[in-house]
Structure 1
């Protein structure tokens, strides 16, 4: 059993949306996935109250016991929707995680916050990956400058970035209003395609193949600031 912590210490990045949709997509791909809602706002639990996806309300102090129980139950993945603060609660989630997904919009301030989180991961010797969320859509096969400049800056600094950015799409809110992930609400939609791509990256990174069964930081910021 592997644990994934979905982290964003800056409000509005879409952490809960990523956690919910990732959990649903991983279940679709055959993983026994459980979503742990450790955010006091309980947004994940509220969104999936009528959903068949397993959602457990918890807190930072209970995460170690929860991961132990999940491992004993034979689950594949525990996905933690982490609190944004305090830092001690974020650290507790990082310490139990096999992979931390740091959710960030492609803006200077969001990336600055994400890089601080990555520095915390380095201090704790934890594995991390930035997930760019709420990106403007590509036009004629070309990334908007806001996205391409962010990607260039992060790669220049050697920061790990998931090669599956998530775009600004109404489908996310529409699906959540129905208590679903986008892969269920609109299975052939662009949002579903993007989430499945991210889920595949995550799944292979932490689990490899599943058996078939039903379903430097200152440099980066300087580079971003210098671009138009």
Structure 2
């Protein structure tokens, strides 16, 4: 995907209509791994907003935090783009089924869409309902497998199933996956990411590979 000439800020939406797929976890880590990043939380529950507020209270000021609702999201993003100081805007979204406004808005704003899925039949059943929203908007996307166990049958089956879905809908599957590791839970207790809490750990290496790969896809 080639961005328009002169468009410095790239926007990545993290979407999945099923809850528990690690949307917020991926979004937070992306905001720390990608350079000059900002986070926008469109989930009414405000989980990511609360995480950022916890970081501020602890004296941890990165990443930049954009405050907006559906009505002001475009204006806030445009202001961040005009500032010239934001290279990556990551949008965290809620799980939505009947009311898809936040997901649709995030996709509309995005240059690239990341779709996390766990290695579970419930997540795999939801993917064919989420991905068409991205295709309808004409946006490129990647499926990222999360909370998986290396070498497991569930991971192998999910890799096969997501590859077929991606091929059918014109997307790709990230070659790296996020392991189901306790480091994520430990890190969030101190309002950190695993790349800060345990920078030399396996979880940090895995999630860094995911976001570095996504960054390469956006910059192709």
TM-score normalised by structure 1 residue count: 0.83
Alpha-carbon offset, residue 154 of structure 1: 2.2
- The correspondence for 2:82, drawn from 72, 75, 78, is 72
- Asked if the contact 1:103–1:114 (Cα under 8 Å) also holds between the matched residues in 2, the reply is no
Distance 1:13 1:185 in 2: 22
Distance between the aligned counterparts of 2:193 and 2:77, measured in 1?
24
SS in 2 for 1:11: coil
In the alignment, which residue of structure 2 is the partner of 1:40?
Answer: 44
Q: What is the rounded CA distance, in whole Å, between the counterparts of 1:102 and 1:62 in structure 2?
A: 24
Residue 126 of structure 1 aligns to a residue whose secondary structure is: coil
Bigger shift: residues 51-60 or 70-79: 51-60
SS at 2:73 equivalent? helix
Which secondary structure does the structure 1 equivalent of 2:95 belong to?
coil
Contact 2:42/2:69 (CA < 8 Å) preserved in 1?
A: yes
Report if the CA contact (8 A) 1:36-1:81 is conserved. Answer: yes
Structure 1 residue aligned with 2:125: 112
2:147 alignment partner, SS class: coil
Cα offsets for 1:39-83 (capped at 9, x unmatched): 111111212222312122322222211221111011101000112
1:8 touches 1:15 (CA, 8 Å); kept in 2? yes
- The answer to whether structure 1 residue 62 and structure 2 residue 72 are counterparts is yes
Q: In structure 2, the residue corresponding to 1:203 is in which secondary structure?
A: helix
Q: How far off is 1:186 after superposition?
A: 0.4
Q: CA RMSD in A?
A: 1.4
Q: Paired residue for 1:200?
A: 212
C-alpha distance in 1, partners of 2:164/2:107? 25
Is structure 2 residue 200 aligned with structure 1 residue 170? Answer: no
Q: Aligned partners of 1:114 and 1:70: how far apart in 2?
A: 31
Match of 2:6? none
| 1:1-228 equivalence runs, <5 A | 1-26=9-34, 31-49=35-53, 50=55, 51-53=60-62, 54-74=64-84, 75-85=86-96, 86-136=99-149, 138=150, 143-157=151-165, 158=167, 159-207=171-219
Alpha-carbon distance, 1:115 to partner: 2.3
Q: TM-score, structure 2 length as denominator?
A: 0.86
- Matched position secondary structure for 2:179: coil
For structure 2, list consecutive stretches of 5 or more residues without a partner in the other structure: 1-8
How many residue pairs match? The answer is 199
2:172 is paired with a residue whose SS is coil
Displacement of 1:32 in angstroms is 0.7
